[in-house]
A and B are shown apart, each in its own frame.
Chain A
């Protein structure tokens, strides 16, 4: 009996042990499988992101190059001078007659056959919801209403401060959304899931409403409409894509011209104005700061509060103001003390900066300390004398042309006494921002957080900087803030905390790179401003796929994109490889390095 039981026990024990071991084995194997899947996902992500940022970097570099040419072009003949002035005056006409154009929408007739939504001002909540419904049914808003809405939007924006101050005592909850990038489905989903904006439901949209997606116009219409209907509860921040120069490359300009064949140009012109009047940041209860990109070690909220934000029409290009010589000297000294050396454009031989990728660690380390890499050119170089001559001669020509054309000099801030002012197509009657003001804005619109301490130039994007946890801490302490909400970077889960949960990245465009690539998210701030995140993925298909299938699909897409790039640059790559035959560097990193350069 006894032995029987003990044998049974023995067997039982053995069985249990075997089951345990078997289970452990399966788990061990499965974990390795998922780890490899995760690695594939990250590689895919890296590929997409590198391509995205390389594109941005390209644009900045190209832009720097042309800006430099413009700065230093000396018109050697009458013809060339004419050419320059023609280039400048074309826009100038537009600028000056813009005032008329703005109210010109009234002359645009809406045919009776038009079945889309009709707006009347002042807007009512019903109008805004009607817009959403109409766009959901793929209708298009007539150009007249678009222009009307933009005109009213600008009138409203002009009254707003650079930093919106919001208080939670009025509305019970505040929802903050990140990049939408023309993805209307995501916006509709957010309103559906979270509720429409109302006096009890505040919203903050943190920039990058346009570009890349196909419904940027519709998104803008909806956002602006709600802003006009609920001005106290609905807030918009400017993103780096609310910028006509960036739009040229990333699809918004094209979308507008496609959808509005007759009035597209006018719409774009008006938009240029609207974008530069968007507020730069939102502050909730003086505790939570919301801005699009990030901060830098020189971010000065008081300064940002005071600048004339509409002077910064595009962060791509900025002719900064030249004061008369005495002031220039002082300011120059002050600037040089506060910031690092003046950036030398990347294409000049003296430049120490090389276009760097996240993988080229040798050159990367060299830049850790200095910030002299390819930051969007501020236009201030040591060739002042030369440029001043150029400018004054061109300026004189412009004066003459203006008089010839019989244009009235409008009462806006003209600079007849400023002999050293730049002749810029944008400039006209607007005063230019100073180098520091411009950099402050670029920093908050373009920067990304990083894990290491410190603050270094964001060479991958070509603008702003990478800021470390110490920079965040310093800023939060200086202004007595609790945490920072920003967007600007796509995250797989739609959101990400970093810097010890002091920085929250929120990204609201799901499936951004490809169907299944990432979730979108928005954050609700409850009492005591605790964040509560809601995630989603606006695509029925992805929910039914397993992780493995999703990753495979996204991977395929990334590899396809990579293949196209490689194909486009194959001859360059071959010559590079031949040069570096001895190296044992992994293939993938090399390829990424190279097309980052191109």
Chain B
């Protein structure tokens, strides 16, 4: 499966990583060549970095973009500038993805009564008011998959299991 999808999702081996980064950047661009639109940078660069296995916060992403963009923002981010920064991130194993058990504990923190689930309203409240809030679109997307329509709540343990399987 993963062989036809571009960069592998497995472990990060150092030397072979760099050429895969190349392909990844170029692959989704239709006619982009070696540039990525800055106008959509939060989504484009974020998408790219995240699909390479990293899991930065929005804030970290913002800093990263500031690091790679031009002094005078042209609307593009140069690949030549992006590549070394990205390679370093990969080599340092920065922004590691979150293990399943840590994720579970995060949900448990929000579920103060330890019921095993969060109501839809609670989830919305936390996701849109705390942390780095979701946009309405992101919230709706998450709800569509997470919420059990009968109970109108999210049983987070099952939810996590389902999502993690899907990842692989």
Listed in ascending order, the chain A residues whose CB lies under 8 Å from chain B are 15, 18-36, 38-40, 42-43, 46, 49, 358-359, 361, 448, 450-452, 466, 546-548, 552, 559, 562, 584-589, 591
Contact = CB atoms under 8 A, between A and B. Distances in A.
Given A31-B58, A451-B31, A20 B4 contact: no
Contacts of B97: 29, 32
Contacts of B50: 31-32, 35-36
A183 B97 CA distance: 43
B4 A38 contact: no
Nearest to B47: A35
Nearest to A562: B4
User: Which 4 pairs from chain A and chain B are nearest by CB?
Assistant: A24-B131, A35-B50, A23-B131, A23-B130
A490 to B, nearest CB: 11
Interface string B128-168: 00111110001001101100000000000000000100110
Contacts of B29: 358
A559 B4 contact: yes
Interface stretch (B66-74, B83-91, B104-112): B104-112
B6 interface: yes
18 contacts: A22-B110, A23-B126, A23-B130, A24-B130, A26-B131, A27-B57, A28-B55, A29-B98, A29-B103, A30-B134, A32-B97, A35-B48, A40-B5, A586-B22, A586-B23, A586-B27, A588-B6, A589-B26
B46 A35 contact: yes
Contacts of A589: 23, 26-27
Contacts of B6: 39, 43, 586, 588
Main secondary structure of the interface of B (DSSP, over half): helix
B71 to A, nearest CB: 21
A470 to B, nearest CB: 14
A587 B4 contact: yes
A146 to B, nearest CB: 39
Given A19-B110, A35-B47, A36-B50, 7 more contacts: A21-B106, A23-B126, A452-B33, A466-B31, A547-B145, A586-B23, A589-B27
B127 A548 contact: no
A186 to B, nearest CB: 23
B89 to A, nearest CB: 14
Contacts of B120: none
B116 interface: no
A29 B109 contact: no
A398 to B, nearest CB: 45
Nearest to A468: B31
Contacts of A33: 163, 167
A548 B132 contact: no
Contacts of B37: 451
B51 interface: yes
Contacts, number: 153
Contact of A19 (B3, B30, B126): B126
A591 B4 contact: yes
Contacts of B126: 19, 22-23, 26
B119 interface: no
Nearest to A42: B28
Given A19-B130, A35-B46, A586-B7, A26 B103 contact: yes
Contact of B27 (A24, A46, A546, A547): A46
A27 B131 contact: yes
B107 A26 contact: yes
A591 B6 CA distance: 11
Contact of A548 (B28, B32, B47, B145): B145
B144 A546 contact: yes
A450 B33 CA distance: 10
Interface centre among A39, A359, A547, A559 (most CB of B within 10 A): A39
A548 B134 CA distance: 18
B11 interface: no
A22 B20 contact: no
Contacts of B142: 30
Interface in B1-51: 3-7, 16, 19-20, 22-23, 26-33, 35, 37, 43, 46-51
Contacts of B145: 546-548
A24 B132 contact: yes
B103 A25 contact: yes
A82 B22 CA distance: 57
Nearest to B162: A548
A31 B97 CA distance: 11
A36 B141 CA distance: 14
Contacts of A548: 145, 166
Nearest to A555: B5
B102 interface: yes
Given A29-B98, A32-B55, A548-B166, A23 B23 contact: no
Given A28-B57, A46-B27, A451-B31, A20 B3 contact: no
Contact of A25 (B16, B98, B141): B98
B141 A34 contact: yes
A43 B5 contact: yes
Contacts of A28: 55-58, 98, 132
Contact of B130 (A20, A43, A450, A451): A20
Nearest to B130: A23
Nearest to B144: A546
Contacts of A552: 166
A559 B2 CA distance: 11
A368 B85 CA distance: 28
A361 B26 contact: yes
A72 B146 CA distance: 66
Given A26-B106, A451-B31, A548-B145, A34 B138 contact: yes
Interface string B117-129: 0000000001100
B129 to A, nearest CB: 8
Contacts of B105: 22
B163 A586 contact: no
Contacts of A26: 103, 106-107, 110, 126-127, 131
Contacts of B51: 35-36, 38-39
B21 to A, nearest CB: 10
A381 B125 CA distance: 70
Contacts of A36: 50-51, 167
A548 B144 CA distance: 10
B20 A586 contact: yes
Contacts of A359: 26-27
Nearest to A15: B112
A452 B4 contact: no
Contact of A39 (B3, B47, B132, B133): B47
B17 to A, nearest CB: 11
Nearest to B97: A32
A134 B134 CA distance: 48
B16 to A, nearest CB: 7
B106 A25 contact: yes
